[in-house]
Amino acid sequence: MNATMSLEKIKHYPVMLNQILSIISPQRGGTYIDCTFGAGGYSKEILKFPNTKVIALDRDKLSENYANPLLKKFPKRFNFFKDKFSNLNKLAERKLKPKAIIFDLGLSSLQLSDNKRGFSFESENFLNMEMGINDYSAYDVINSLDKEHLGSIIKILGEEKEGKRIANEIDKHRRRKPIKNSKELASIIKKAKRKNISYKKNPATKTFQAIRIFVNKELTELILGLIGATKLLSNGGILIVVSFHSVEDRIVKNFFNLHSDIKSNPSRYLPLKESKSNLFKTVCKKVLIPTSSEINENSRSRSAKLRYAVRNDASFINSDEFEKMFLNYLELEGASIW
Ligand SMILES: C[S@@+](CC[C@H](N)C(=O)[O-])C[C@H]1O[C@@H](n2cnc3c(N)ncnc32)[C@H](O)[C@@H]1O
């Protein structure tokens, strides 16, 4: 049995699908951009409505296996690009007028369950953690990145208080011999963590999150993706983001707050903004979460948070203010690892 066949047996649940469909109302037709195609959960549902078109992107080659049947079935209504969503601006000249642009961030259950990718704590395969179209792997980061930067990544991107201790322990091990797989890395992290705390999750969870975010430059992707999507949307277009951890959600929330009237000022440290920077006429005031029945059926959905906003007709010219807000993440992810 090859890897794809066995992965196809994994049940795939598109997270918060019903809420998304009720926000985007595909029964009225229109063009949709699915920035994180994965196994095509959202795209397939949208294409069930006859007057819809879907343009989908995913950086992972694995997604082509799920996109190809849709390309065959809907040659005029579906298109797929193996690309990163930071490159959404490439679609600008097509004058698509999308009704909605959707991001469902993070890893798919297929990626998580594929032992070869090195995302799980138990994997004894190469320490990879790449989603696709990467400059380096987790192996490179763990074995080459300088100790101080490694500690900052773990602390800031993983929100792991013990980042420095963990980086020191990793450094101690890699000086003797390279750290080759996720299982080995998870046990080194466990050793570094304080013993008097009982952990509900695997003690390596936050560090793995940090390394994965860094390897895939996920926050830079999100920041550029939000900017690109907002530029592509015209008056009435909807921007929807489903995120899975607080660092991502903070970026999305601040982006919507900064460019709408929802709060008079997104941060008390910033000067009061003028309404000319408003790009959204409606922003969902409260974050949406999965129903308890969805969480019962698919426990991975439990940390999902959905935010959306509806575009006004102002042009989006300057993204400096937003990029400045998260410069620390952009600089952290932009560091050279060699
Ligand atoms: C949570 S899954 C999406 C699942 C999808 N909604 C479904 O129902 O099948 C996230 C997907 O986004 C992709 N992805 C993550 N970051 C990306 C990026 N910057 N550009 C393009 N694709 C990305 C991943 O490869 C993964 O396949």
Per-residue pLDDT in tens (0 to 9) along the chain, 338 residues: 344 445 556 678 999 999 999 999 999 999 999 999 999 999 999 999 999 999 999 999 999 999 999 999 999 999 999 999 999 998 887 888 999 999 999 999 999 889 899 999 999 999 999 999 999 999 999 999 999 999 999 999 999 999 999 999 999 999 999 999 999 999 999 999 987 666 678 999 999 999 999 999 999 999 999 999 999 999 999 999 999 999 999 999 999 999 998 665 556 565 545 566 799 998 998 999 999 999 999 998 999 999 999 999 999 888 999 999 999 999 999 988 87
Return the residue whose CA atom lies nearest to atom 7 of ligand 1: 41
* CA separation for the pair 62, 110 (Å, rounded): 9
- For residue 240, what is the enclosing H or E element? strand 238-243
Question: Residue 104: what pLDDT?
Answer: 98
Out of 32, 111, 131, 218, mutate this one to test ligand 1's pocket (max ligand atoms within 8 Å of CB): namely 131
Return the residue whose CA atom lies nearest to atom 14 of ligand 1: 36
Question: Residue 249: what pLDDT?
Answer: 97
Which residues are CB-contacts of 41 (< 8 A; sequence separation ≥ 6)? Answer: 12, 13, 14, 17
Question: Residue 271: what pLDDT?
Answer: 54
228 lines ligand 1 (CB under 6 A): no
114 lines ligand 1 (CB under 6 A): no
Question: Residue 4: what pLDDT?
Answer: 46
59 lines ligand 1 (CB under 6 A): yes
Out of 17, 21, 36, mutate this one to test ligand 1's pocket (max ligand atoms within 8 Å of CB): namely 36
Question: Residue 197: what pLDDT?
Answer: 67
Joined together, the tokens standing for residue 269 give: 């440290």
273 lines ligand 1 (CB under 6 A): no
What own/partner pairs with CB < 8 Å and gap ≥ 24 does 51-54 have?
Answer: 52/26, 52/77, 53/77, 53/78, 53/79, 54/78, 54/79
108 lines ligand 1 (CB under 6 A): yes
Ligand 1 atom closest to the Cα of residue 85 is 20
Give the CA diameter of the chain. Answer: 62
Question: Residue 268: what pLDDT?
Answer: 56
* CA separation for the pair 229, 242 (Å, rounded): 14
The pTM assigned to this predicted structure is: 0.93
Taking the centre of ligand 1 as the mean of its atom positions, its distance from the CA of residue 199, in whole angstroms, is 29
Taking the centre of ligand 1 as the mean of its atom positions, its distance from the CA of residue 4, in whole angstroms, is 17
Ligand 1 atom closest to the Cα of residue 110 is 27
Taking the centre of ligand 1 as the mean of its atom positions, its distance from the CA of residue 264, in whole angstroms, is 33
Question: Residue 285: what pLDDT?
Answer: 84
